[in-house]
Homo-oligomer: A and B are copies of this chain.
Amino acid sequence: MKIFAAQINSTIGDLTGNVRKILDAIHRAKQARADIVLFPELTISGYPPEDLLLDASFIDAVQAQLEIIRPATAGLVAIVGLPRWNPRKKEKPLVNSAAVFKNGELIGYKDKELLPTYDVFDERRYFEPGKEPFLFEYLGRKIAVTICEDLWQHSGTVGYTHYSSDPVVQLQELRPDLLLNLSASPYYFERKDARVSVFAAAAKTLRCPVVLCNEVGGNDQLIFDGHSIYINEKGELIQIAKGFVEDDFLVDLDTNACPCAMPKDGIKDLYNALVLGVRDYFHKQGFSKAILGLSGGVDSALVACIAKEALGSENVMGLALPSRFSSPASYADAAHLAKNLNIELKKVEIDSIFQSYLDLLEPFFGGKPFDITEENMQARIRGMILMAFSNKLDYILLNTSNKSELAMGYSTLYGDLCGGFAVINDVTKLQIYHLCQYINRKGELIPEAILRRAPTAELRPNQTDQDTLPPYEELDPLVEDYIERRLPFEEIARKRGVPLEFVRTLARQMHRAEYKRRQAPIGIRVTEKAFTKGRNVPIVQKWI
């Protein structure tokens, strides 16, 4: 039996485009003589459709697509994900479902049983859980269909919720010969290994192979990495689809294959995730051109490399915006980088504007010392000029803030926080250096001088980040422990060998920046806990 997992990249709400991809994949599956073609979760609507699901005409329009797909399924089985009306008409009006077609007939639906409602997921906002397993017979095999989270409880690795039921256990007595799973399992750093162990646990319990078709693509903050997998009845990983691109993943259950290992590609995957995130944010909206400030620092250098890879050199423009506090070397490095990347670079000196503001405000602020006001002012002039270029030339401004500075509020609202899309806002400073080394692996794209320079905002004389922040070697692990892993203060202090009061103070400082983060552009989630999605913290509160 051959299974064709159509790892496609759906666009949210693009029913026509998504169905075209579905029909094309069914066609290719037939050419490959596949018996079953399996799609990702919510294939027709894209995942996550969020409040589009509250629009009844959207649900009806999704449902109507099934009649377009049905005739194309003559001669095989096709399993397509979609939101549909809850047939039980109780509680939530919808179910998260998979339509199963066999030889041109719709033979039934599997409704997702375990609905994640934690972190970035809010499926109980829309969906009622399915209550029943779904199996069908085909070519002598009993085949069970499941959707994403349905298999996660069994492994014991869902961190936020302990579901009261376990669909894998319920399937045990039904003795399926094959388990299929439609997923929209988002990427985060080094997650794909966890995914293999989850699906292997199900395979071992049911003593049958598992084929998982995962979504690929970027939808707003979420990146779906693909990496669809085939695991045999012993729980061994046999085959892996490509990551971060669409892939026709053909599994032949009847040939013996040796187990393979999931490649250890942490940084490469991270880089690919960021590139995919930018490309899909732009192309799915019909945009092609990006602008960004090139300071000569490492953050903007990395974003420029990612943008070039995602959009092409000809679609990326850098602006150098030196002030009185900028070193000439910074500009030289930015120019060097632009040359290496073959992207356009323009230079706009901001000092005349800065002086105009100082003069204008002198009667009001006269006598008060230079402080954060004047630092912010320079960052905001830069933001303003970048936005002027963006408006005039119709480029989207890429934001270059990193997670470490966002955590600490070491960034200027309406200044360096400007932009339509924040490419690296879930990447800590240390990871940024790792990514730069990865980019330079075959030769220098990012000039060494950029990597060697001490991080600085260049907003006052001889400033470096470490005037204000702890060294990144100290800060970043605390950001990971506190924001991403939610460890208690005591545990962080013990684990990292720092005073408890130091951890508390940093946590308070991180909280005080909440109002800034709330106004920051959305960005690409690449860790277990990003700031812009999946983290709901009140601004006004007295706990932290």
Contact = CB atoms under 8 A, between A and B. Distances in A.
A258 interface: no
A160 B56 CA distance: 12
Interface stretch (A198-206, A278-286, A455-463): A278-286
Nearest to A124: B124
Interface stretch (A188-196, A245-253, A516-524): A516-524
Interface string A501-528: 0000000000000010011111000000
Interface stretch (A1-9, A12-20, A22-30, A445-453): A12-20
Interface string A361-383: 10011001001110011001101
Nearest to A535: B51
A413 to B, nearest CB: 7
A265 interface: no
Given A122-B536, A348-B364, A352-B360, A52 B541 contact: yes
A389 interface: yes
Interface stretch (A85-93, A132-140, A335-343, A433-441): A85-93
Contact of A520 (B12, B54, B519): B519
A472 interface: no
Interface in A60-108: 89-93
A325 interface: no
A357 B349 CA distance: 11
A392 B414 contact: no
A469 interface: no
Most chain B CB within a 10 A radius of its CB, from A125, A353, A365: A125
A536 B161 contact: no
Given A384-B377, A414-B384, A14 B368 contact: no
Most chain B CB within a 10 A radius of its CB, from A11, A17, A352, A388: A388
A117 interface: yes
Interface in A320-363: 346, 348-349, 352-353, 356-357, 359-361
A145 B92 CA distance: 26
A543 B357 CA distance: 44
A17 B384 CA distance: 43
B365 A392 contact: yes
Nearest to A386: B414
A493 interface: no
Contacts of A48: 538
Contacts of A420: 515
A182 B414 CA distance: 42
A292 to B, nearest CB: 16
A35 B105 CA distance: 67
A220 to B, nearest CB: 5
Contacts of A389: 364
Nearest to A377: B388
A337 B518 CA distance: 32
A349 B449 CA distance: 43
A51 B13 contact: no
Most chain B CB within a 10 A radius of its CB, from A48, A372, A380, A538: A538
Contact of A360 (B348, B392, B414): B348
Most chain B CB within a 10 A radius of its CB, from A17, A349, A381: A381
A121 to B, nearest CB: 9
A498 B281 CA distance: 34
A247 to B, nearest CB: 22
Contact of A13 (B13, B361, B536, B544): B544
A398 interface: no
Contacts of A384: 357, 377, 380-381, 384, 414
Contacts of A377: 384, 388
Most chain B CB within a 10 A radius of its CB, from A280, A357, A391, A515: A391
Contact of A285 (B90, B361, B540): B540
B90 A162 contact: yes
B383 A540 contact: no
A162 B89 contact: yes
A542 interface: yes
A418 interface: yes
A519 B515 CA distance: 11
20 contacts: A11-B541, A12-B543, A14-B541, A46-B541, A51-B536, A51-B537, A52-B541, A52-B543, A54-B486, A55-B543, A90-B162, A280-B540, A348-B360, A353-B357, A357-B388, A364-B389, A364-B392, A380-B387, A383-B414, A522-B539
10 shortest interchain CB distances as A-B pairs: A13-B543, A14-B542, A12-B541, A373-B391, A13-B541, A124-B124, A414-B414, A356-B356, A373-B392, A50-B536
